[in-house]
Amino acid sequence: MLEKQGAKIDKVLDFAIDDSILEERITGRWIHPSSGRSYHTKFAPPKVAGLDDVTGEPLIQRKDDTAEVLKSRLDAFHRQTEPVIDYYAKKGVLAQLHAEKPPKEVTAEVLKVLS
């Protein structure tokens, strides 16, 4: 498809992160449904567990933020995406980035790889 448009892939970014870190990040997310305010049990907890800081209303966890759903999604990722990563690695265009780092550091890595 890209060849037909005269384009080619010259860099593929692989945001690599251990599954256990993803589980901690994703399963710890909670939101206040009416405002969209988000919290995290470890990284940005509410003042009172399970309650929104502003309204005191209960927080919810999205249905796809559970360990069971994440495991299913990760299984599919490893089965379907890892062969694609290997393909681009063999072509010499893959840049593996350490996605467990803080956002500013990941952004710096991205800019470095793309410059």
* DSSP-derived secondary structure for 5-65: GT-----EEEEE--HHHHHHHHHTEEE-TTT--EEETTTB--SSTTB-TTT-PBPB--GGG
Q: What is the pLDDT of residue 11?
A: 95
| CATH code, domain carrying 49 | 3.40.50.300
Helix, strand, or coil here: 97? strand
Q: Is the pTM of this model over 0.85?
A: no
* DSSP-derived secondary structure for 64-91: GGSHHHHHHHHHHHHHHTHHHHHHHHHH
- Per-residue pLDDT band at 109 (split at 50, 70, 90): very high
Q: What is the pLDDT of residue 2?
A: 84
Contact present, 46 and 53 (Cβ < 8 Å) = yes
- Per-residue pLDDT band at 1 (split at 50, 70, 90): confident
pLDDT per position as a tens digit, 9-37: 999 999 999 999 999 999 999 999 999 99
Q: Dig out the tokens for 51 from the structure.
A: 């309650």
Contact present, 88 and 12 (Cβ < 8 Å) = yes
- Domains in the chain, number: 1
Residues 6+ away with beta carbon under 8 Å from 48: 56
| Mean pLDDT estimate for the chain | 94
Which domain range does residue 66 map to?
3-114
